[in-house]
């Protein structure tokens, strides 16, 4: 089990950041995620595993001016 944005989410062996975002339904909305204290950018989503018991923070794109 992992926590995503403060809510429990099922975890499975081999899960990557890309897999997790696909399960959350909005993979294009997040250019960066934080897994525990490690930041991961979009080019690395498909190769970065999500460990069991991780705390995952989804960081959305913010624009303004």
CATH number at residue 52: 3.10.20.30
**Would you say residue 28 lies in a domain?**
yes
What's the confidence (pLDDT) of residue 65? 66
How far apart, in whole angstroms, are the C-alpha atoms of residue 13 and residue 46?
A: 14
**Would you say residue 65 lies in a domain?**
no
The residue segments making up the domain with residue 52 are: 2-59
**Three-state secondary structure call for residue 57:** strand
What's the confidence (pLDDT) of residue 56? 97
**Would you say residue 18 lies in a domain?**
yes
Per-residue model confidence as pLDDT tens digits over 11-64:
999 999 999 999 988 778 899 999 999 999 999 999 999 999 999 999 988 877
How far apart, in whole angstroms, are the C-alpha atoms of residue 17 and residue 33?
A: 8
Strand locations in the chain (E): 2-4, 7-9, 32-35, 38-41, 55-59
**Would you say residue 6 lies in a domain?**
yes
The total of structural domains in the chain comes to 1
Query: Model-level pTM greater than 0.85?
Result: yes
């Amino acid at each position: 089990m992992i926590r995503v944005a403060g809510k429990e989410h099922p975890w499975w062996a081999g899960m990557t950041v890309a897999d997790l975002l696909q399960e959350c339904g909005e993979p294009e909305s997040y250019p960066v995620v934080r897994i525990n204290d490690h930041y991961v950018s979009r080019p690395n989503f498909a190769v970065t595993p999500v460990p069991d018991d991780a705390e995952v923070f989804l960081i959305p794109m913010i624009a303004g001016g």
